[in-house]
Structure 1
Amino acid sequence: MFDMAYFTNGALHFIVAFGLACLFLTVFKWLYQVSTPYDERALIAANNTAAAVALGGAIIGFALPLASALEVTSGVVEFAAWALLAGVIQIVAALIIRRVVVRDMAQRIEAGNLASATYSAATSIGVGLLNAASMTY
């Protein structure tokens, strides 16, 4: 039988959790874009698929641990702490890729190099998966 009070409570929790997750995803996307030496928005507007692939991978890479944090946390503050940690890890990993592993990654993305963008996206997603799996305690 349908329990309206139970549904209302669950729906309220869903709205808060989903809203916070969307907010964190938006803030992460902005911080990620600020951390790159190129302008993703302009590159994507100019039809640079490499920029879109790299940014898309970063977004998915952060959404994975965010989803995990939603599942394992019991409150807003704990969720926010895990989201913050996950975001820092994702941005640091991207910086390491750009500054240590593939030092000319920015130039490659700006030039539309899809192979480099795919590598960047795959790294972001891989780090995100490890990030999410590490949230089990």
Structure 2
Amino acid sequence: MFTSIILTLVYMVVYSWITPHPEIKLIKENNMAASTAFAGSLIGFCLPLASAMTNSVSIIDCVIWGIVAIIVQVVIFFLVRLPIPKISDRIEKGELASGFWLGATSLAGGILNAASMTN
């Protein structure tokens, strides 16, 4: 459990660092687009992490798969920016469609990532 909490905190820091928009600040300002995008991303990370916790043979194995889950979510963020290059600006403006798009793709990527980790 402690390992998963640490990995989740690391993920939140890494994800907030790589995205141009300040998620926590925007969420505090009641920006639904930022909240939706970040929530989808967090769930998209936690699903494969839960799968890794269930299927790993050791803590090191779980950490490795947790790092893979972080990398997958970061890659998804950059791929989402291909069709919508200014997605961060749009999220900052509170455009829900952009927040839903990012959140949904993060969640979909997390589901596929989790499925690929099962036996």
**What TM-score does the superposition give when structure 1 sets the normalisation length?**
0.84
Q: Distance between the aligned counterparts of 2:25 and 2:8, measured in 1? A: 20
Partner of 2:97: 115
Which of 8, 12, 15 aligns to 1:32? It is 15
List runs of 5+ in structure 2 lacking aligned partners. Answer: none
- 1:65 Cα shift? 0.1
Provide the identity percentage.
38
Q: What is the match of residue 9 of structure 1? A: none
Q: Give the structure with higher Rg (CA).
A: 1
1:104 aligned partner: 86
- Which sections of structure 1, spanning at least 5 residues, go unmatched? 1-17
Give the one of 75, 85, 89 matched to 1:92: 75
Cα deviation for residue 101 of structure 1 reads 2.0
Deviation at 1:107, TM superposition (A): 1.1
- Alpha-carbon distance in 2 for matches of 1:50, 1:28: 20
Aligned residue among 110, 121, 126 for 2:108: 126
Q: Please give the TM-score of this superposition, normalised by the length of structure 2.
A: 0.96
**Which AA in structure 2 matches 1:111?**
K
Instruction: Give the 5 Å matches for 1:11-22.
Output: 18-22=1-5
1:81 and 2:64 are equivalent in the alignment: yes
2:26 is aligned to 43
Cα displacement (A) at 1:86 = 1.1
Distance 1:69 1:93 in 2: 19
Tell me how large the CA RMSD over aligned residues is.
Answer: 0.9
What's the CA shift string for 1:11-58, capped at 9, x where partnerless?
xxxxxxx11111101110110000100111211111111111101111
Q: Which amino acid aligns with 2:63?
A: A
Aligned residues between the structures: 119
Residue 30 of structure 2 aligns to a residue whose secondary structure is: coil
User: Structure 1: which 4+ aligned runs deviate by more than 2 Å?
Assistant: none
Tell me how far 1:88 sits from its aligned partner.
0.4
